[in-house]
């Protein structure tokens, strides 16, 4: 990954109170799968408001795992951020990243509802080939003309075949994003066209980026589709574009498994299977560790 000599590798998460538990699961998975990288990582947590107890708990986990973590309160521009269909204000916090990291050549953004199972070194080292960001094509919305993303895309003049990325894993070049005003234009789009927002920040970023994004290998952001297709929230309709059997095989070997959709495993909403079982094991380890947490508050 391009960086200055001695500069730690920057990872950013963003949460609200409701995602503090899965965030600790993500941290534990990161430490377990990337132990050799620990000393090189700078992990920042963006948030608008967290309780003192949650902040204390997160700091305790960071110290337990030997992770260098900074908690950074941020404030979004005062516009209306659509949160219908299960979204949250915290979904939009990643939009401040280019303006916050003026001194970084690369920033890796990760959602909190994922587990890291492979070495991230290759992802950090991925060249963006002049693009402002890298992402993985969204398996449930692979193009804007199929799926639930960007409602009213035709009125915006977007071709139906334009590929659409998932924003749960983003490799960001902050300087290039600032130069192209990619994230700034995403915020302007939200303010001007909230009726075209269905998948929150992701819709706005896809509108702003159009085709100016590097396609990352799909194993960097795989979904547990073997389970998701058995939920009421997912109806797989893009077999011709991304065969389901290929995506199911991918989930078995992926470096990052992203528990997208409302079927969150920490809420026991993901159907039984390997993905749910592996998440339960991590969650159990987190809860076991927390037995020794004694809050000072």
Report how far apart the first and last C-alpha atoms of the chain are (Å, whole number): 40
Between CA 237 and CA 246, with CA 243 as vertex, the angle to 5 degrees is: 135
Question: Does 297 map to a domain?
Answer: no
Contacts of 294 (CB under 8 A, 6+ apart): none
Contacts of 157 (CB under 8 A, 6+ apart): none
Domain encompassing residue 36: 9-291
Q: What is the pTM of this model?
A: 0.96
Closest CA to 222 of 173, 288, 275: 275
Beta strands in the chain (DSSP E): 9-14, 41-47, 69-73, 107-110, 114-116, 133-137, 165-172, 214-215, 256-258
Question: Does 4 map to a domain?
Answer: no
In the chain, the number of structural domains is 1
Q: What is the pLDDT of residue 251?
A: 94
Question: Does 2 map to a domain?
Answer: no
Question: Does 1 map to a domain?
Answer: no
Please compute the mean of the pLDDT values over residues 84-108 and round it to a whole number.
95
Work out the percent of the chain whose per-residue pLDDT is above 90.
Answer: 95
Contacts of 179 (CB under 8 A, 6+ apart): 132
Distances (CA, A) of 101 to 96, 108, 155, 297: 9, 11, 34, 32
Give the confidence band of 3 by pLDDT, cuts at 50, 70, 90: very low
Q: What is the pLDDT of residue 7?
A: 73
Give the confidence band of 227 by pLDDT, cuts at 50, 70, 90: very high
Question: Does 202 map to a domain?
Answer: yes
A 10 A CB-CB count for 154 gives: 12
Domain containing 285 — which CATH number? Answer: 3.90.550.10
């Amino acid at each position: 990954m391009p960086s200055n000599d001695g500069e730690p590798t920057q990872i950013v998460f963003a949460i609200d109170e409701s995602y503090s538990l899965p965030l600790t699961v993500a941290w534990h998975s990161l430490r377990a799968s990337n132990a050799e990288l620990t000393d090189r990582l700078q992990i920042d947590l963006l948030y608008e408001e967290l309780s003192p107890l949650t902040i204390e708990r997160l700091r305790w986990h960071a110290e337990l795992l030997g992770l260098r973590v900074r908690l950074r309160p941020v404030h979004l521009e005062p516009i209306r951020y659509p949160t219908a269909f299960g979204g949250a204000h915290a979904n939009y916090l990643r939009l401040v990243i280019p303006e916050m990291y003026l001194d970084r050549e690369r920033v890796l953004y990760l959602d909190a509802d994922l587990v890291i199972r492979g070495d991230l070194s290759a992802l950090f080292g991925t060249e963006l080939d002049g693009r402002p960001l890298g992402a993985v094509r969204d398996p449930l919305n692979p193009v804007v003309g199929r799926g639930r993303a960007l409602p009213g895309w035709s009125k915006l003049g977007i071709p139906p075949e334009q590929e659409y990325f998932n924003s749960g894993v983003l490799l960001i070049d902050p300087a290039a994003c600032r130069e192209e005003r990619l994230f700034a234009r995403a915020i302007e789009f939200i303010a001007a066209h909230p009726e075209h927002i269905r998948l929150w920040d992701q819709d706005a970023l896809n509108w702003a980026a159009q085709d100016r994004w590097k396609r990352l290998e799909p194993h960097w952001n795989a979904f547990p589709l073997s389970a998701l297709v058995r939920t009421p929230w997912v109806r797989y309709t893009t077999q011709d574009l991304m065969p389901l059997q290929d995506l199911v095989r991918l989930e078995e070997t992926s470096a990052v498994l992203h528990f997208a959709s409302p079927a969150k495993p920490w809420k026991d909403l993901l159907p039984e299977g390997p993905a749910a079982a592996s998440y339960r094991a991590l969650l159990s380890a987190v809860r076991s560790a927390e037995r020794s947490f004694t809050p000072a508050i």
